[in-house]
Amino acid sequence: MAPTSTPQTPFGRVLTAMVTPFTADGRLDLDGAQRLATHLVDSGNDGLVVNGTTGESPTTSDTEKAQLVRAVVEAVGDRAHVVAGVGTNDTHHSVELARQAEAAGAHGLLVVTPYYSKPPQEGLYRHTVEIADATGLPVMLYDIPGRSGVALGHETLVRLGEHPRIVANKDAKGDLGAAAWAIARSDLAWYSGDDILNLPLLSVGAVGVVSVVGHVVAGELRAMIEAYLSGDVAKATAIHQGLLPVFSGMFRTQGVILAKAALGLQGLPAGPLRLPLIGATPEEIAQLKKDLAAGGVDL
């Protein structure tokens, strides 16, 4: 049974975009995924995104994606929202992945803006609606033009928010003004998808975060959100500022690389990366240690 949700927080408040653990020889590590998912929920996450970019979805097979969803739901599905990334730049394939994720027990779907193809806004709208119509699961949009090459426009976001199953947006656009307008004009629950903007996005109406640094500071993110929502903006700001070294440090190179390095430093399941991503260098790991320590992370 999925955890309780509300229209205001359909997927919880603190979600980590979880890495996909692999064994030393590069195979999917389902036992490691279950142990990592349990650790992340115990640490303060009330949601996990699997098979997202941070989960190396471009290099995992459809079969592996289904296996991962099943494993994570089995481990924490009664305590946390498990959201499956299903978006691709192929609408038909995305629909298949959505149905597969539903069958595997996912509680929701993350649908990234189609990448590389650069469709017009009407194409983005139709692509997303076809996916939303394919299952009974709630959908979180993922607006990240820096990776996809095209952004969801204001009007498109408002139109998509009228669909009964499109309930949220993960915002990695880096445009607070655009976020403010879209939040004001739609019923979409807004989630920060850019850790450095977690607190600023709360200030214009976001309800939570989908985080990479949640691998190591989920409790702090939850405390920041709770402080802000209770009206203690000074405390929320202090927590946010204390985490700045972590925000910067985890993205000195590609986020998956350093997320897996950070988990390795803590003795948690992560394993190697699949090409074209590569593991962190000794120099990058040394710098990561300094950044995490400056942000108060115990290693």
pLDDT of residue 151: 94
Q: What is the pLDDT of residue 298?
A: 87
Residue 210 is assigned to a ligand binding site: yes
Total residues belonging to the chain:
299
Task: For residue 265, report the phi and psi dihedrals to the nearest 5 degrees.
Answer: -65, -30
Dist. CA 89–CA 124, nearest whole Å: 10
- Residue 1's pLDDT is what? 65
Closest CA to 19 of 47, 44, 48: 48
- The answer to whether 120 touches 90, Cβ cutoff 8 Å, is no
Give the pLDDT confidence score for residue 6 in this predicted structure.
77
Chunk the chain into consecutive blocks of 10 residues (it has 299) and report each block's average pLDDT, rounded to whole numbers. 78 98 97 98 98 97 98 97 97 98 98 96 98 98 94 95 98 95 96 97 97 98 98 98 97 96 97 97 97 94
| pLDDT given for residue 34 in this prediction | 98
Question: Which residues belong to the active site?
Answer: 142, 170
Domains, in order of start, for the chain: 14-232 (3.20.20.70)
Q: How far is CA 73 from CA 67, 158, 166, 181, in A?
A: 10, 31, 21, 35
The response to whether 113 counts as a known ligand-binding position is no
User: How would you classify residue 205: left for phi > 0, otherwise alpha for psi between -120 and 50, otherwise beta?
Assistant: left
Residue 18 pLDDT: 98
* Predicted local confidence at residue 207, as pLDDT: 97
> Measured between alpha carbons, how far is residue 277 from residues 43, 57, 273 in Å?
27, 12, 6
